[in-house]
């Protein structure tokens, strides 16, 4: 390989990028816009579940019980109903996800020490949110029941019962259980995979469409030199995008970065090389900018969003799909980012994913070089 010829191609591509300022601005601004949009809009936290209450008891005991829900971060009481028709209307319209019905004899049952049946109607159209809401409601109810039991024991002059099991949960790496802390690193991987492939998916196809490929074919430039020259300018833009994304995560979203910044950028470099080589491979095959652009979007966005473990756990997927996810580089990059961001682990733990990214980058470049032919047909 002649490095002077490769640098000449890279210099030509650099000049093209700098002259096309709108595309350059989009290449830098688009990842930031997507990160801001998805970072604020996409959350898996279930807080302030809208609730409507029908308090048939209308006693101090029922109001105390209902206040446990209103004082919880997980529920937000939107109003009160007086019959099932009103509850149905609120749930059907989406104004309430949960309806709580306190029976007329609630206070009497509590004073008598008998179980009081509480009805909870849940909108199950969103099964994930409904499941979490039921779990939160059960926890609030159990806490209220334990408080009543302690009051009754103290009233009778007995000593407080000791639980046979002292359960003390401790959450590592994300103590606040904020979904944003693992969504942002995943978003960086997904967005960079899409943007990186889109940046390079038009490079070779543009040469064919503008008729300048004939001039390149007539030169001594080899396929390896051409692809390397096309790769370098956009690789620099990709690293700049990663830097801006890391800064947004650190100072805007307050995502903790516990690991090595150097390891993060080394991992990002391996990922960018492989993904941009994939974009060039698409450009070589398509020879048309529009087709290449659409193909790059389909090949990168859907797999990286659905099959990388970003949204859906890979362990819950069918075995065949789990095997297919091994072909998605975003899967390994997301593992690297989460390990670096949240766990602060180093190369000794993440070496396997890093080697797979290197293998992916090398194989994609070799495939792109092998398919490209310096011929007009």
Domains of the chain by range and CATH?
Answer: 3-43+178-371 (no CATH), 49-155 (3.40.1710.10)
For Cα atoms 343, 349, 355, give the angle at the middle one, nearest 5 degrees. Answer: 125
Tens of pLDDT, residue by residue over 209-253, are 887 777 777 788 888 888 899 899 999 999 999 999 999 999 999
pLDDT over 70, % of the chain: 95
Bridge partners for 79 per DSSP: 52
Tell me if 238 sits within 8 A of 323, measured CB to CB. no
- The yes-or-no verdict on residue 178 having pLDDT over 90 is no
User: With helix as H, strand as E and coil as C, how does 283-325 read?
Assistant: HHHHCCHHHHHHHHHHHHHHHHHHCCCCCCCHHHCCHHHHHHH
What mean pLDDT do residues 47-59 have?
A: 92
- The yes-or-no verdict on residue 203 having pLDDT over 60 is yes
Q: How confident is the model at residue 377 (pLDDT cuts 50, 70, 90)?
A: low
Burial of 19 (0-12, 13-18, 19+ CB in 10 A): exposed
pLDDT of residue 57: 93
Mean pLDDT of the chain: 88
- The yes-or-no verdict on residue 163 having pLDDT over 80 is no
pLDDT of residue 158: 60
pLDDT of residue 164: 62
Tens of pLDDT, residue by residue over 298-352, are 999 989 989 999 888 898 899 999 999 999 999 999 999 999 999 999 999 999 9
Tokens encoding 218: 């007539």
Decide which of 114 and 235 is more confident: 235
What mean pLDDT do residues 291-296 have?
A: 91
pLDDT of residue 165: 64
pLDDT of residue 159: 59
pLDDT of residue 162: 62
């Amino acid at each position: 390989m002649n490095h002077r010829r490769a640098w000449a191609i890279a210099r030509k591509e650099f000049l093209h990028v700098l002259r096309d300022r709108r595309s350059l601005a989009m290449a830098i601004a688009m990842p930031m816009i997507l990160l801001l949009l998805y970072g604020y809009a996409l959350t898996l936290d279930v807080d302030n579940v809208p609730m409507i209450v029908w308090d048939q008891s209308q006693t101090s005991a029922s109001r105390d019980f209902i206040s446990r829900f209103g004082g919880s971060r997980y529920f937000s009481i939107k109003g009160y109903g007086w019959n099932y028709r009103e509850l149905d209307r609120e749930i059907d319209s989406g104004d309430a996800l949960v309806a709580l019905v306190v029976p007329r004899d609630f206070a009497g049952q509590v004073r008598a020490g008998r179980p009081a049946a509480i009805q909870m109607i849940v909108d199950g159209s969103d099964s994930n949110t409904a499941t979490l809401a039921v779990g939160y409601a059960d926890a609030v109810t159990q806490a209220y029941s334990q408080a009543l039991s302690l009051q009754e024991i103290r009233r009778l002059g007995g000593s407080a019962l000791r639980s046979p099991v002292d359960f003390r949960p401790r959450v590592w790496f994300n103590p606040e259980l904020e979904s944003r802390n693992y969504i942002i690193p995943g978003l960086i991987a997904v967005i960079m995979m899409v943007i990186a492939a889109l940046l390079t998916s038009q490079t070779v196809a543009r040469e064919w469409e503008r008729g300048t490929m004939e001039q390149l074919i007539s030169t001594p430039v080899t396929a390896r030199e051409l692809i390397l020259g096309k790769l370098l300018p956009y690789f620099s833009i990709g690293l700049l995008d990663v830097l801006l994304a890391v800064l947004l995560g650190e100072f805007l979203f307050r995502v903790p970065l516990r690991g090595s910044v150097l390891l993060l950028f080394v991992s990002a470099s391996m990922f960018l090389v492989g993904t941009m080589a994939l974009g060039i491979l698409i450009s070589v095959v398509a020879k048309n900018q529009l087709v290449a652009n659409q193909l790059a979007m389909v090949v990168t966005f859907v797999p990286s969003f659905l099959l990388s473990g970003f949204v859906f756990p890979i362990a819950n997927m069918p075995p065949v799909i789990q095997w297919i996810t091994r072909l998605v580089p975003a899967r390994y990059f997301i593992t690297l980012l989460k390990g670096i961001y949240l766990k602060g682990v180093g190369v000794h733990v993440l070496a396997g994913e890093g080697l797979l990214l290197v293998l992916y980058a090398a194989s994609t470049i070799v495939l792109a070089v092998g398919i490209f032919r310096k011929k007009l047909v």
